Amino acid sequence: QVTLVESGGGLVQAGGSLSLSCAASGRTFSRFAMGWFRQAPENKREFVAAISSSGGNTRYADSVKGRFTISRNNGKNTVTLQMNSLNPKDTAVYYCNAVNSDYDPMFDWWGQGTQVTVSS
């Protein structure tokens, strides 16, 4: 079983930046496409970004396109989400997970997530 640990969240002013990291255990990490999701209070968890197993392809939700960048390091079993030009609508708990071809989460389990709060 792959375990996922997210980190890097915090409080930032609108227009600021944060870099989130997802550390995954397990030797099979490099086989999976990986994604970031987020959940704001009283909202459903939503897709943010995904990256293919090799790192050669990425996909973004329209709401973050041009502001967020996803990357991965298979040697270190990590996935990073660089978030720039943050706005209050980005406030949420951010999670990582493997993703299937429809960009839906693959694993039934989730890490603890990391809180991102953007003040206006």
DSSP 58: E
Interatomic CA distance for residues 41 and 38, integer angstroms: 10
Q: Can you point out the beta strands (E) in 26-102?
A: 33-39, 46-51, 58-60, 68-73, 78-83, 92-99
Predicted local confidence at residue 10, as pLDDT? 98
Higher pLDDT, 15 or 41: 15
The answer on pLDDT for 27 being more than 90 is no
Predicted local confidence at residue 28, as pLDDT? 83
What count of residues does the chain have? 120
Predicted local confidence at residue 1, as pLDDT? 75
Q: Is 102 exposed, middle or buried (0-12, 13-18, 19+ CB in 10 A)?
A: exposed
Mean pLDDT of all residues belonging to the chain: 95
